Amino acid sequence: MEVTLFIHAADDAFRILEKAKERAVGLLDTATKLTSETRWMEEKKVHAILKGAQETKSGFQNFVATFLMLFGFWALLSGKFDAFHLFLGVVCSLIIAYLSYDLLFANVRVGDVRIIVQRFIGYIPWLIREIVMSNFHVAYLALSPKMPIDPKVITFRTKLESDISWVTLANSITLTPGTITMDIEGREFMVHALDGKVADDLDTGEMEDRVAHIFMEADHIYIQDVLDVSRVFAKLKRGM
Amino acid sequence: MNEFFVVVGLGLCLLVFLVLYRVIFGPGVFNRIAAVSAIGTKSLIILLIFGYIYNRVEMFIDISMVYALLNFIGCIAAAKYLEMER
Amino acid sequence: MIISSDDIIIKTIARIFVPFIQLFALYVIMHGHYSPGGGFQGGVILGASLVLLLITHGYEEMRRRVPEGAVILLGSLGLLIYSGIGLTCLLLGGNYLDYSQLSVILHVDPAHARAMGILGIELGVAFAVMAAVCSIFFDISTGGILPEDEK
C-alpha cells in the first residue's frame, strides 16, 4: 500500500519536473528571439540611414538624367523643331520623368552617369565588329555539307556586380551569333555555345572585361565613393 | 536601287514561308511562339522596305516600332501565361 | 494574382523600357495629324506599357505605382475632356464639337483652333482607352480577389 502511494508521488513529481523543464525551454527561446530581433532591428536602422543618405542626392540627378534622355528620344522621333512641338515634348518628358524616374537608373552609383553613358556609346562599335565576325563563322558552319557543330553548355561565374551589367553581358552574348544565354542564377551564367571556337572566344573573358569597364566595376576606386562614404558617415554619427 | 530592295523583300518573304512550317507543324506550343516571334522581326523589315519603295519612310518607321513593341510584349505575356499554367 | 518574375534579364529590360514606351505613346498621340496614330493607338500603347510592368514586376509593385483608383479616375477624366470640349463649343454658339468656335478662347484663327480642338479630343480618347485596357487586365489578373481578402 505504501509502495503504490510512493509510486503515485514519484509520478506526480516527474510530471511537475517535466512541466518545469518545458517552461524553462520556452523562456530561453523567447530570450533568444528577443535578442536576435533587436539585433536585426539595429541592422535595419543602419541600412535605412545608409539608403536614405544616398537616395536624397541621387533622386534629383536621376530625374534630370531621365528627363534629358526622354527629351532626346522625343527630338529624334519627331522631326519638327518649331516651338509648339518642342513645348509639347518638354511637357510630356517632364510628366513621364516625374512618374518613373526611379525606374531607369535604379542601381547606378551617384555621380557616374555621364561617364557610363559615354563608355557605353564607345562599346557599341566593338560589339558590332564581334557580331560581324561571328556571323561569318556561323554561316560557314551552317552552309558546309557536314555541318561540324559541337553544341555544349558552359557555366561560368561572373565578377560583375549590378543587375544592369549582367543584363548587358547576357544581351551581348545572345546578340553574338553562336552563343545564347540560357539562364542567370545569382552570379552563374549558363550559356549554350555552338562549337569549340565560339566557346573559346567566350572563355577568354574579353567581353566581360569590357562590360566591367563600362560600368566601372571590379577594377577601380573612385574619389566620389570616398566622398559619399564621408557624407553617410556624418549622417550616421548624427543619427545614432 | 528600288529593284535591289524589291529582291531583298522577296527573299525575306521566302524566309517567312520557311518559318511558317514551324508555326503549323511545330510539336508543342513553345516552338510556335518562337516561330511567330521570328516572323514578327522579318515582317518589320518588310514594312520598312515598303516604306522605302513608296518614298515615305518616316511614316512606316512609326508602324514598325509599334509592331516591334507589341511583338515583344506579346512574347513575354505568352511565356508568363504558360509558366503559370504549369 | 501575378507574382513577379524570377528572371533578372526580363525584369531589368522591362523596367528600362517602360518610360520609353510611354513617351512613344505620347508621341503617337500628339502627332496624329502628320503620321499614323491618334488617340486610340496611343492609348493602347500606353495601356500596353502598364501591362508590361504588371506581368514582369508583379501585382504589388504595380499597385504601389499605379493605384487602381487612379486608373479609373483617369478614364473618367478622359471622358470629361472629350465632352467638355464638345460642350464648350456648344456654349460658345456653334454646333457640338465645332472647333472653330474655340478661336474666341484661344485667340488664334479658326484653322489653328480646329487643330488644337482635335488634339485635345485625342488626348481624352487616349486616357479613356488606357483606363479601359488597364482595368480589364487588372480585373482578369486578380480574378476579383484582392490581396487584403486573401489574408
Is B2 buried (19+), middle (13-18) or exposed (0-12) by CB count in 10 A?
A: exposed
Mean pLDDT over A174-202 rounds to 88
Q: What percent of chain A has pLDDT over 70?
A: 84
Query: If we measure between CA atoms, which residue out of C27, C46, C48, C47 comes closest to residue C38?
Result: C27
At A239, the pLDDT band (50, 70, 90 cuts) reads low
Q: Which chains touch A (3 or more CB pairs under 8 A)?
A: C
Compute the residue count for chain B.
86
Q: What is the ipTM of this complex?
A: 0.85
C15 and A66 within 8 Å at the Cβ level: the answer is: no
pLDDT at C115: 86
pLDDT > 70? residue C80: yes
Q: Which residues contact C115 (CB under 8 A, 6 or more apart)?
A: C33
Residues paired with residue A180 on neighbouring β-strands, in sequence order: A192
- SS3 state at C94: coil
Give the CA angle between residues A19, A25, A30 to the nearest 5°. Answer: 125
Residue ranges of alpha helices (H) inside chain A are 2-77, 83-99, 101-104, 113-143, 163-175, 196-203, 206-214, 223-239
Q: Does C116 touch chain A (CB under 8 A)?
A: no
A88 and C30 within 8 Å at the Cβ level: the answer is: yes
Mean pLDDT over C47-70 rounds to 88
Tell if the pTM clears 0.80, that is, is over it.
Answer: no
Mean pLDDT over B18-37 rounds to 92
Which of A111-125, C96-110, C130-144 is most confident? C130-144
- How is residue A168 written as a grid cell? 548587358
Number of structural domains in chain B: 1
Mean pLDDT over A160-189 rounds to 88
At A229, the pLDDT band (50, 70, 90 cuts) reads low
Mean pLDDT over B9-33 rounds to 92
Residues 36-75 of B with CB under 8 A from C: 58-59, 62-63, 65-66, 69-70, 73
C36 and B59 within 8 Å at the Cβ level: the answer is: yes
pLDDT at C26: 93
Higher pLDDT, A31 or C72: C72
pLDDT > 70? residue A148: yes
Q: Which domain holds residue B68?
A: 2-85
For the sheet containing A188-193, what is the strand order? A152-157, A188-193, A179-185
Per-residue pLDDT of A92-137, as tens digits, reads 999 998 888 877 776 665 556 777 888 889 999 999 999 999 999 9
Mean pLDDT, rounded, of chain C:
87
pLDDT > 60? residue A53: no
Give the position of cell 486608373.
Answer: C71
Higher pLDDT, A80 or A92: A92
**Residue B83 one-letter amino acid:** E
Residues of C in contact with A92 (CB under 8 A): 23, 26-27, 30
- Residue spans of the domains in chain A: they are 2-104, 128-221
Mean pLDDT over C84-88 rounds to 90
Residues paired with residue A179 on neighbouring β-strands, in sequence order: A193
Q: Which residues contact A121 (CB under 8 A, 6 or more apart)?
A: none
Q: Does C17 touch chain A (CB under 8 A)?
A: no
Q: Which of A33-37, A180-184, C105-109 has the lowest mean pLDDT?
A: A33-37
CB-CB contact of A119 with A213 (8 Å): yes
pLDDT at C96: 85
Residues of C in contact with A70 (CB under 8 A): 19-20, 23
pLDDT > 60? residue B49: yes
